[in-house]
Amino acid sequence: MSINTFRNDINGLRAYAVILVVLFHFQIFGFSAGYLGVDIFFVISGYLMTKIIIEKLFKQQLSFTDFYLARIVRIFPALLFLIVFLTILGWFIFIPEDFKNFAKDARYSLTFLSNDLYYRQAGDYFAADTHDKALLHTWSLSVEWQFYLLFPLLLFIYAKFDKKLKYIGIFLSLILIASLSFSTLMTAKDTMYGFFKLTTRTWELVAGGLVYYYFNNKQLTAPLQKLSEGLGFTFILLSLVLYDQNTPWPSFLALLPVMGTMLILIANRQNSIFTQAKFIQNIGSASYSIYLWHWPVFFLLNYFFIKLNFISLSLSLGLSLLLGWLSYKYIEGSRKSLQKLKKGHIYLLFISTLLLLYPIYKHIEENGLASREKSNTPSNLDKMQMPSVENGWCFYNIKDNHNLKVGSQGFECSIASEQKNAKSALLFGDSFAGHNSPFWDQIGKKLNLNIQAITTNWCYPSLNKEFTGNKQSTAYQQCLLNREYLSKHIDQYDVLIFAGRWSEMDP
């Protein structure tokens, strides 16, 4: 197959992948597993990147400069335009705290490290509180970019030992098995690590590479093509039916849609009724830009508290398609102009852009450009802050405040009555308990209660070792100390107040 051959099936798969992701994010009924569209994208990317790299290795023409340049020209302009657009919009609509958070997300997105940022923040990707991150969806671009950086280097080194690439299929298979095993292990141990990290997603990308290596020069008979494609779409459809947002992901369960995608790629049907329709082909061509724009549109719905109904969803979906198409036509379409520039000039432009924007976003991150607001806004925002040790309360926000250390200081804070005859009370729980500290402070003063407040991120009331956050975090270590204290001193209090996000507790 010629390197320039356009494949309708791959373009069609892109369309289905982005449709699944968009409908999932917009919470359309029946698409609670639409997130697997990202897994389809990964398999496709792995196929195409392996194709490019291996063909160049066989000809001994692999140029890292050319390879990385092509990825920059393909990915960066549309992403840059989106982020700059949202920055300008944010100037007018974001309060300082939100602008600070956006600026940090923008820095990490532009440097393709946002997957690591969102893992460290360790929120639940499927939870409502992720809707306040306008660039959350860039995590998958970061995973792909990290793969683009490392994979050609890995294959280049491998080719030094196997010049004819005779055993590269075995090599890739071993990588797949190792990554899949690690993915399954980490998804069970640390869900967010499994979801966001390259090491747990590598096997999906390599799966596409294996399809290229073993089936590139093989053409199935027409009946086998139909069978392979039919099974592939069936596997993807079954995934949509069997899985939902509560499914541990990716783990071995992602084998079903990954194998489905592999089978469709193996079929290589260019005249399929499933992929050749003009509408599907158009969506596939603009899939990258549609993916970029759909989430910010949904983010703005939530930011302005617009209720999800038929009208708002229809308009938002239409706007996502329109913005995606405009980005594809006018921003992605600028690739030809960029490709006419000298290689050094493109790299210089890319690096200069990062060097210019990075300190700008770093500055915004410091104070959210609070001077934009009315004079009384900062003081009003102070009243809206999370009550924590930083502002005189007791919530031990050890996740975000790196000056806080794991230890007994996490349960040495009290609120409410300071009278000597006050009864003793204990407020114990997670950030939800900490959030309500001012309420309990008022109650305690009225009832003459001296309330010792022991509250830490994700540490819901319990005496076991279960935890809703990242068990590798300092918050988990602090939580274990909190619960140990609770088990030893629970009988010494007159009043116990347990508070937390009960929906997150294991039954």
Of 370, 404, 421, the last residue of a domain is: 370
Instruction: Give yes or no: residues 302 and 412 share one domain.
Output: no
Instruction: Give yes or no: residues 347 and 435 share one domain.
Output: no
d(CA 367, CA 464): 40
Q: Starting from the edge strand earliest in sequence, which strands make up the sheet with 449-455, in order?
A: 414-416, 449-455, 423-429, 495-499
Closest CA to 208 of 26, 446, 360, 14: 14
> Residue 120: its pLDDT value, please?
84
Q: Is the dihedral of CA 462, 468, 470, 475 positive or negative?
A: negative
What does the angle CA 229 – CA 198 – CA 471 come to, to the nearest 5 degrees? 120
Amino acid at 303: Y
Q: What is the pLDDT along the chain (507 residues), one digit of tens a residue?
A: 334 478 999 999 999 999 999 999 999 999 999 999 999 999 999 999 999 999 999 998 999 999 999 999 999 999 999 999 999 999 999 988 899 999 999 999 999 999 999 998 865 455 446 678 999 999 999 999 999 999 999 999 999 999 899 999 999 999 999 999 999 999 998 888 999 999 999 999 999 999 999 999 899 999 999 999 999 999 999 999 999 988 999 999 999 999 999 999 999 999 999 999 999 999 999 999 999 999 999 999 999 989 889 999 999 999 999 999 999 999 999 887 887 888 889 999 999 999 999 999 999 988 788 777 655 555 555 556 778 887 889 999 887 666 788 998 888 899 999 999 999 999 999 989 999 999 999 999 999 999 999 999 889 999 988 887 777 778 889 999 999 999 999 999 999 999 998 766 654
**Rounded alpha-carbon distances, angstroms, from residue 276 to 72, 208, 230, 378, 485:** 29, 21, 15, 55, 64
Instruction: Give yes or no: residues 302 and 364 share one domain.
Output: yes
Residue 248 lies in a domain: no
Query: pLDDT per residue over 31-78, tens digit each?
Result: 999 999 999 999 999 999 999 999 999 998 999 999 999 999 999 999
d(CA 476, CA 195): 19
Residue 328 lies in a domain: yes
Whether pTM > 0.85 for this model: the answer is no
**Rounded alpha-carbon distances, angstroms, from residue 265 to 5, 225, 226, 339:** 14, 10, 12, 29
Instruction: Give yes or no: residues 392 and 320 share one domain.
Output: no
Respond yes or no on whether the N-terminal peptide bond of residue 438 is cis (omega within 30° of 0).
Answer: no
> Cα–chain-centroid distance for residue 494?
45
Instruction: Give yes or no: residues 96 and 149 share one domain.
Output: yes
Instruction: Give yes or no: residues 133 and 189 share one domain.
Output: yes
Query: pLDDT per residue over 449-487, tens digit each?
Result: 999 999 998 899 999 888 877 777 788 899 999 999 999
> Residue 2: its pLDDT value, please?
39
> Cα–chain-centroid distance for residue 200?
13
Amino acid at 164: K
Of 370, 399, 433, the last residue of a domain is: 370
27 conformational bin, left if phi > 0, alpha if psi -120 to 50, beta if neither: left
> Residue 466: its pLDDT value, please?
85
> Residue 129: its pLDDT value, please?
60
d(CA 1, CA 13): 19
Q: Specify burial of residue 210 (Cβ count, 10 A radius: 0-12, 13-18, 19+).
A: buried
Residue 378 lies in a domain: no
Show Cβ contacts of residue 207 under 8 Å, excluding neighbours closer than 6 positions: 43, 46, 176, 258, 259, 261, 262
Domain holding 421, by residue range, is 387-497
Instruction: Give yes or no: residues 404 and 489 share one domain.
Output: yes
> Residue 85: its pLDDT value, please?
98
Instruction: Give yes or no: residues 353 and 480 share one domain.
Output: no
d(CA 398, CA 474): 7
Query: pLDDT per residue over 243-302, tens digit each?
Result: 998 899 999 999 999 999 999 999 999 999 999 999 999 999 999 999 999 999 999 999
Instruction: Give yes or no: residues 301 and 184 share one domain.
Output: yes
Residue 242 lies in a domain: no
> Residue 132: its pLDDT value, please?
84
Structure tokens at 323: 């913005």
d(CA 125, CA 129): 9
Of 337, 370, 403, the last residue of a domain is: 370
Residue 230 lies in a domain: no
User: How many domains does one find in the chain?
Assistant: 2
User: Is 453 within 8 Å of 437 (Cβ atoms)?
Assistant: yes
